[in-house]
Chains A and B, each alone.
Chain A
């Protein structure tokens, strides 16, 4: 069936019913359409497993991070509703009753993450405060009528789970046309009275005991995009009905709280009783996500420095969106399992060992082809080399031990990384970055101890004051203590020793102080003398070069840290079989996530050789040969014009270029060829129009307007 027609633009294709039954399992697409298996099914299953784990982990994380915020919100809601509950005759209470409690929730610019937050917020509120939680989005509410309709229909849906009767629902759907605040309040009265009715089964939820009349919470997800008028009207109307319809609003704000006052005039905003809540910053969120997903041995999958760099760059420079970051992670996971046949081993260690035993010969060959493995083989004794390259069983055993080494390497790596971060995160200037992700990036990239930043870090560390150093050491101690690895038992022990030594140093110092060997205090002098004496003291110290006990100990600590770093923070490229778990194809990630369509267009038009690898198209940069595709030539010519382009001139210039090219091919200049060239010009022009480079204009006859400017070559 054709998909082009002059009368319609949508074509529906439905396969025969019988054929529809046979659906292709997704794994099959994983296979790149090849018949060679390379464990693709297993790989796909592993991918799905890891991805599910990662996803649930992030969701859980988000919940934990939001817990504090939600607790505060719940408390606020309960407090503000208790006034309604009391029904007191007090004058001030009466006034307060007119005010709608509003929780302004500042969520930050990462709009894409808000959905998840709101979803869990709704859940929390429904569990703790009230069953009546409704959320509205600006796009559903072009006017007041829609707001009320949506509100009513969602509220009634909320009520359904409390076994409210069906006829009410139908009644609402009939009434949907003319929903009003009166309808809502009468609905509310009905519902709350019914609940007192003892016949109904008691509710399990927490709110049921608290109130007879739970509040109605309305969440406006994107407060900024609501039209001012709708918001104003709604607030005024609902404040009038507040005594019978206890509404509480939650504004989701992406920018800053000032927006409330910009959207609402004073007369309206005075009807609100606003309290501000701030959600966790997305940068902290990112740090936790990284911490839980990447800086851990829980997930076998790892990403290389460049991939991490791209993901964080997209996050920091483009959207601040955790959701997108996780999408990037998902894509890299998928790409890894899709493109690397050996990724079948990217799973938990015992499972991977088991899988090695079942590897096919092809897969063994794949292992041998890994660059890291080849490097490893080259460093072995010659008999072992031969055995590795010829004996499958030996290879498998070796691979098992290598994988185990890799696992141990990662365990150690992350512990030492955290420890090093404890040292570097508080240094002035942050030579190795403030966040652990920056440190991680540097460590992944190269031998960190070769970098100048590292040298300066060590220097700074050698100047730390004692109490700072002790605090850091204590932190490191807990890091190592938390690990179950036997290897770091001794390390923890050494740190403990250091701590003890510092402790004893304190005591020794006290004694020393008591003995009175303290240098004489500086007398009160002018600046010049102070400087002079300070210089003298420095000179003295330098010449004496005698370090006190503390300094000796401090140097020891720093050397110890240095030795740890040098031993354990080797870049992953040095590890054999690292390709199994590390995803490094950063360019594919960038291509698919952060594409640059304009650049692609520009390149295609300016430099066709880039795509069409034809030698005839090769040319000096900035000019294109006259045999290039028509659209390229037309584009090139149009770049020479300013705002308006005369079609006649353009077509003649085009014809000149193209005829020159044709001349060489065949020297039959004829009427027909002219016409064909003209037709080609027309096609090129209309294509440029479609691409948005030019548009028709009425300013002058037979002219088109350029929509871009500049851009010569």
Chain B
């Protein structure tokens, strides 16, 4: 801003120099060139602001002002109507979370954030959610009060997480080794140890504090250099942080695994049961949010009819919202719901359901492109055909590919196919280049619902969810039932052998020759060929895999985990 003003005043000065035409003209030319340059600079600035990722850490005040300028220009800060977010000052807030950071506070903030649970616990113990950020000095006090509460609640494990977080932040080798040693003891459950450890950690904190103070001083010294230089330093800081996070191959995290934990992995069913007991918080607010979005239904219908397509983004599952939209608005029209989060979804199946179920086409197509062409022509010829496509998670693993997006985009560009979709992934908009965006002709709607992604994550092989294997188990049973007793016997032999060897890490499978031998002994097969025929059948059902070992021998392996196999054997025995 100040720079801008400066520019203007300079411009004026130039004009006042004299009224001699010739001289002035020459000066003007120079000025013109200068202005041009500045203008391009301005352009570049705005561009960088646009491109700026959300995670930009540091910006100096000047940048902040510019940022706001840009926001102002684009009218984000215009008082918003109740339609979206119901926030009065939405725009400036959205941006302010980026720009809030003053560089001096950065390091302080980092040291404080390294112990978020710490900060939050006192937060609540005071019953005052609006508690302010602790200054480093006061944080010490808090930490002690924490430990008191800690003992009360008998949560000895709590601290163990904290130093690790700090350690990661610190990265200083000396303090690191120190805390490492502490850390290994932190698993002990006795209270004495905890108290001891607590003191240790506070020591670590104080050390860290001094460090951060040093850093503050350093940055303050930097401050005196001109702003440009400062900015440069900042970006390099950012770069350093990136490499700090990505370059070191050594992973500085604790070695504890979930197996030591009481509640390890849960299976899907128990998880659901447990979660159903949780009473949702903020239900009133959430309801209000949802009501706001529901008021948009009519507008969506209108805009869909006028050739736009609608994409919903924002945190929280939008499935229920779309489902409500479907039930209220689309009851009288042909529509297809596509669960993008379904692991078996593909463009082919989307097209199939359109051609077979909507257009009643019998027959097959040579390729997906042919099918698309046919569909497009059909819709172009018959303008009375209307189809609503509802896609939950357009950005899911299965649909995010370039080809899939191209095909869905081409479908959506038809004037009698109306597409309303939701996206969740952080980088979902990267799927679309300009050509695809113009195919989609999106209108964006922010619908932050905070509702849990229950359905969306239920298919996912989640990190902590134990695979119960109920699906493979039932399919195993079904397949096996259709086989001859001999074949079942062969398979059981293989299972048993594999289970016997399950603790052997170098087990790569049952070699074919040995297996043949064993099957013969059990009177299951009479020749090499009959066994091979059986195995082919297994392979066709994807029950087993064959692999050639290094010695050229064929190895047979059942590609189902041992837990399922044990279950299977038990069931078989029950039946028998």
Partner of B15, one of A9, A334, A459: A459
Instruction: State A368–B192 Cα separation when bound (angstroms).
Output: 76
**A590 CB within 8 Å of chain B:** yes
Partner of A686, one of B47, B162, B434, B465: B465
A456 near B15 with CB under 8 A, answer yes
- Chain B residues with CB under 8 Å of A700's CB are 251, 253, 255
**A77 CB within 8 Å of chain B:** no
Given contacts A613-B285, A640-B169, contact A23 B333 (CB under 8 A): yes
Partner of A612, one of B285, B299, B350: B285
Instruction: State A678–B275 Cα separation when bound (angstroms).
Output: 10
**B116 CB within 8 Å of chain A:** yes
Please give me the 8 A-B residue pairs with the lowest Cβ-Cβ distance, nearest first: A586-B75, A9-B342, A595-B444, A604-B315, A112-B438, A9-B345, A679-B274, A711-B55
A613 near B266 with CB under 8 A, answer no
**A70 CB within 8 Å of chain B:** no
Instruction: State A288–B303 Cα separation when bound (angstroms).
Output: 27
Instruction: State A664–B257 Cα separation when bound (angstroms).
Output: 30
CB distance from A107 to the nearest CB of B (A): 13
Partner of A679, one of B262, B275, B459: B275
| Chain A residue at smallest Cβ distance from B333 | A15
- Chain B residues with CB under 8 Å of A31's CB are 298
Partner of B443, one of A307, A331, A641, A661: A331
| Chain A residue at smallest Cβ distance from B334 | A14
Given contacts A616-B129, A689-B462, contact A648 B74 (CB under 8 A): no
Instruction: State A12–B316 Cα separation when bound (angstroms).
Output: 25
B113 near A713 with CB under 8 A, answer yes
Binary interface profile of A, 614-651, with partner B (CB < 8 Å = 1, else 0)? 11111111111111010100001101111111111111
Instruction: State A297–B505 Cα separation when bound (angstroms).
Output: 82
**B87 CB within 8 Å of chain A:** yes
- Chain A residues with CB under 8 Å of B149's CB are 660
B124 near A626 with CB under 8 A, answer yes
A-B contact count (CB 8 A): 484
**A515 CB within 8 Å of chain B:** no
Partner of B281, one of A452, A602, A629: A629
**A507 CB within 8 Å of chain B:** no
Given contacts A26-B302, A649-B161, contact A8 B344 (CB under 8 A): yes
**B224 CB within 8 Å of chain A:** no
**CB under 8 Å from chain A, chain B span 277-297:** 277-278, 281-282, 285-286, 288-289, 295, 297
Binary interface profile of B, 31-49, with partner A (CB < 8 Å = 1, else 0)? 1100110000000001100
**B336 CB within 8 Å of chain A:** yes
**B50 CB within 8 Å of chain A:** yes
Binary interface profile of B, 132-172, with partner A (CB < 8 Å = 1, else 0)? 11000000000000000100010101101110110011000
**A563 CB within 8 Å of chain B:** no
Partner of A603, one of B97, B278, B335: B97
- Chain B residues with CB under 8 Å of A690's CB are 424-425, 453, 456-457, 460
Binary interface profile of A, 1-37, with partner B (CB < 8 Å = 1, else 0)? 0011111111111110001101110100111110000
**A195 CB within 8 Å of chain B:** no
B448 near A640 with CB under 8 A, answer no
B93 near A644 with CB under 8 A, answer no
Of the stretches B202-210, B236-244, B561-569, the one at the interface is: B236-244
CB distance from A607 to the nearest CB of B (A): 6
**B506 CB within 8 Å of chain A:** no
Instruction: State A462–B252 Cα separation when bound (angstroms).
Output: 71
Chosen A-B contacts, 6 in total, with CB atoms closer than 8 Å, are A10-B339, A428-B25, A679-B266, A681-B464, A683-B275, A701-B257
A29 near B253 with CB under 8 A, answer no
Binary interface profile of A, 301-319, with partner B (CB < 8 Å = 1, else 0)? 0000011011001000111
Given contacts A15-B331, A538-B18, contact A643 B123 (CB under 8 A): no
A656 near B161 with CB under 8 A, answer yes
Instruction: State A699–B74 Cα separation when bound (angstroms).
Output: 45
Given contacts A676-B277, A692-B426, contact A428 B165 (CB under 8 A): no
CB distance from A324 to the nearest CB of B (A): 7
Instruction: State A594–B441 Cα separation when bound (angstroms).
Output: 12
Instruction: State A38–B28 Cα separation when bound (angstroms).
Output: 56
**B552 CB within 8 Å of chain A:** no
- Chain A residues with CB under 8 Å of B483's CB are none
CB distance from B570 to the nearest CB of A (A): 24
- Chain A residues with CB under 8 Å of B491's CB are none
**A450 CB within 8 Å of chain B:** no
**A359 CB within 8 Å of chain B:** no
B164 near A709 with CB under 8 A, answer no
A653 near B344 with CB under 8 A, answer no
B460 near A689 with CB under 8 A, answer yes
Between B75, B85, B95, B425, the greatest number of chain A beta carbons within 10 A of the residue's beta carbon is seen for: B75
**CB under 8 Å from chain A, chain B span 390-443:** 406, 423-429, 434-435, 437-438, 441, 443
Instruction: State A704–B117 Cα separation when bound (angstroms).
Output: 20
* A interface residue count range (under 10 / 10 to 19 / 20 to 34 / 35 or more): 35 or more
A12 near B353 with CB under 8 A, answer yes
**A191 CB within 8 Å of chain B:** no
**B509 CB within 8 Å of chain A:** no
- Chain B residues with CB under 8 Å of A686's CB are 453, 457, 460, 462-465
- Chain A residues with CB under 8 Å of B242's CB are 709-710
**A183 CB within 8 Å of chain B:** no
**Given contacts A306-B78, A600-B314, A649-B160, could you give 12 more A-B pairs where the C-beta distance is less than 8 Å?**
A4-B455, A12-B334, A14-B357, A26-B302, A33-B298, A140-B369, A541-B19, A642-B244, A642-B245, A659-B155, A682-B462, A709-B242
**A712 CB within 8 Å of chain B:** yes
**B486 CB within 8 Å of chain A:** no
Instruction: State A621–B244 Cα separation when bound (angstroms).
Output: 26
CB distance from A130 to the nearest CB of B (A): 25
Partner of A675, one of B253, B263, B462: B263
Partner of B24, one of A463, A586, A648, A707: A463
CB distance from A550 to the nearest CB of B (A): 11
Instruction: State A660–B145 Cα separation when bound (angstroms).
Output: 13
| Chain B residue at smallest Cβ distance from A320 | B434
CB distance from A428 to the nearest CB of B (A): 5
Given contacts A603-B97, A687-B452, contact A338 B464 (CB under 8 A): no
Given contacts A622-B113, A664-B127, A683-B271, contact A9 B266 (CB under 8 A): no
**A178 CB within 8 Å of chain B:** no
Instruction: State A626–B462 Cα separation when bound (angstroms).
Output: 25
Partner of A676, one of B24, B57, B274, B316: B274
Given contacts A13-B336, A675-B274, contact A713 B465 (CB under 8 A): no
B129 near A692 with CB under 8 A, answer no
Given contacts A708-B426, A709-B241, contact A647 B463 (CB under 8 A): yes
- Chain A residues with CB under 8 Å of B352's CB are 10
CB distance from B544 to the nearest CB of A (A): 24
- Chain B residues with CB under 8 Å of A22's CB are 332
Partner of B110, one of A663, A691, A712: A712
A682 near B465 with CB under 8 A, answer yes
| Chain B residue at smallest Cβ distance from A9 | B342
A590 near B76 with CB under 8 A, answer yes
**B376 CB within 8 Å of chain A:** no
CB distance from B211 to the nearest CB of A (A): 17
Binary interface profile of B, 210-241, with partner A (CB < 8 Å = 1, else 0)? 00000000000000000000000000001001
**A45 CB within 8 Å of chain B:** no
**B527 CB within 8 Å of chain A:** no
B121 near A310 with CB under 8 A, answer no
- Chain B residues with CB under 8 Å of A12's CB are 334-336, 353-354, 357-358
- Chain A residues with CB under 8 Å of B274's CB are 675-676, 678-679
B74 near A313 with CB under 8 A, answer yes
| Chain A residue at smallest Cβ distance from B58 | A710
Instruction: State A309–B94 Cα separation when bound (angstroms).
Output: 20
CB distance from B248 to the nearest CB of A (A): 8
B332 near A687 with CB under 8 A, answer no
A600 near B285 with CB under 8 A, answer no
**A98 CB within 8 Å of chain B:** no
B426 near A598 with CB under 8 A, answer yes
Given contacts A683-B452, A700-B253, contact A676 B446 (CB under 8 A): no
